[in-house]
Amino acid sequence: NLAIVVPPALKTGLGGGDYLSFYAGGRLAFSPDLYNPAAVAALQSDLGWQTRNLPFMRLPAYAALHWPLSRLPYPVALGVWLAANLAALAACIWLAPAALRPTAALVLAWLLPAYVALQQAQDTPLILLFLTAALLLLGKSDLAAGALLALCAFKIHLFLGLAVFVLRRGSKALWMGGAATGALLALASFATQGPDWPRRLLAAAATPAGNRLDNMPAFPALWHDQPFLIAAAAAAALALAWIAAGHRSRPAALALSLAPGLLVSPHIYLQDWLLLAPALTLALANRSRIALAVLAPPIAVLALLGLRIVPMAALALFALAAAREAWASRREPMIG
């Protein structure tokens, strides 16, 4: 089913999909103009496909990874990129435990954020692949799992729950794998963009083009002028993530602890809810009705129509259910 999104995604990408910013980042990976909105916009205009300004807002190391693909003509690079993301979703199903593969396939087939991610030429499917592989390796090779989870730092604003999980359930090997990979990413970033790239990245991220608050299904966007409400929501999300991270199964603990954090992410769009796929797979396998509500395309469509409070409420209920399940499992032996 997901393959049918590729042709319209090619059209969207050619007309201003999110891959434009990644492609521009690859072209400017070793240039001081990487975080210069005017330079990025000029490059996108020269390609002949720009419909809106898409500043580059990722780590310099991420731009360097896109450098080889950016050597190709933009339409060809976009096609390769979409194929890689579609393959990543297929790999997520293949990596799931055999008993869960049919459920994982059903989740990805019906989860609207998967289609939106492909249609927007986003990179969330690849981040989901890193997460899925890390879930598979937890308890078997925490060093490798930590390295994979560190790659999720490319969208670190979506992983508040990951930080909570690592604090509560992270082993020494998990910490070491994450620290080693994080150090390599930092070294590559400073090597390619110099010592002041964090300041320039934050300035680029603060531009209006990079923050369409009316499209973000999260409390910081909904209550952007109510700091006390945002603080209360963040505290509640941290508490729920902490409880979820106590699930007897470490892979389940990691998957479930991500849900509360998505609700308080400072920068998130509907396609980023694709990261809920592992948690929804586990919940659906346990016949969770709340998981079905979050999974239902009509619920997610409301976010696209501007009625984001409804899917946000469904996700909040799912986060509560995840915390309840983790709490109920606390008396059973820990596994993983």
Query: pLDDT tens digit string along 271-303?
Result: 899 999 999 999 888 888 788 888 877 777 777
The answer to whether position 31 is within a domain reads no
Rounded CA-CA distance 89/58 in Å is: 22
User: Average pLDDT in the 223-227 region?
Assistant: 86
The answer to whether position 3 is within a domain reads no
The answer to whether position 124 is within a domain reads yes
User: Average pLDDT in the 205-232 region?
Assistant: 81
User: Average pLDDT in the 147-164 region?
Assistant: 88
Give me the domain span that covers residue 147.
89-328
The answer to whether position 260 is within a domain reads yes
The answer to whether position 266 is within a domain reads yes
The answer to whether position 16 is within a domain reads no
| Spatial contact of 243 and 65, defined as CB atoms under 8 Å apart | no
pLDDT at 191 over 80: yes
DSSP annotation of 248: S
| Spatial contact of 300 and 113, defined as CB atoms under 8 Å apart | yes
pLDDT value for 43: 86
The answer to whether position 67 is within a domain reads no
The answer to whether position 245 is within a domain reads yes
pLDDT value for 328: 83
What SS3 state is found at 321? helix
Query: In total, how many domains does the chain have?
Result: 1
Rounded CA-CA distance 92/158 in Å is: 19
Percent of the chain with pLDDT over 90: 49
Q: How much is the mean pLDDT over the chain?
A: 86
Q: Is the pTM of this model over 0.75?
A: yes
User: Average pLDDT in the 164-192 region?
Assistant: 95
Indicate left, alpha or beta for 287 from its phi (over 0: left) and psi (-120 to 50: alpha): left
- List b or e across 111-145, with b for residues whose CB sees 16 or more CB atoms inside 10 angstroms: bbbbbbbbbbbbbbbbbbbbbbbbbbbbeebbbbb
